[in-house]
Structure 1
Amino acid sequence: MKFFSEKNFHQMIALYYDDRSLERTRQWLDSLDAAEKEGVSGVEGFMYTTWFNNDHYDDLEKVSDLIKQKYPNRWPK
């Protein structure tokens, strides 16, 4: 994130990658919080990503709920 921030690129983060525990989603969001404290900017959104033949799109609600509940500043108002 820092590399692209220093180049003034707008960034999107793909949060999911089929980790049904949502741990990677938490890790990405925590990493973004830490990076922003170090001056990283330009991350403008998140992308829900699944790689298993569209089988895990039912988890989209779980990811959304996690962001709304644990990272409310990341959810649009």
Structure 2
Amino acid sequence: MAVAVIGPGNIGSRVARRLAEGGADVVLASSSLDNAQQKADAIGGDVRAAEVGDAINDADVVVFSTWFDTTK
């Protein structure tokens, strides 16, 4: 199952790490691809970074870990 985690901050990064440890295909996305890539590299494993639109299109499940106004 592919899971996109949008917003790799404190909570999003932890969610992504736990999902990856459980065997999910995890894609991190942020308003900054560089930020998402840095967080994905820090988590390691098969976690990868992508643009927000690409992450959402390729995922079976999307987790929004952003401020409500950003999500709207």
Shorter-chain TM range is 0.3 to 0.5
TM-score by length of 1: 0.37
TM-score by length of 2: 0.39
* Higher RCO (CA-CA < 8 Å; seq separation 6+): 2
Kindly name which structure, 1 or 2, has the bigger radius of gyration based on alpha carbons. 1
Task: Tell me which protein shows more strand as a share of its residues.
Answer: 2
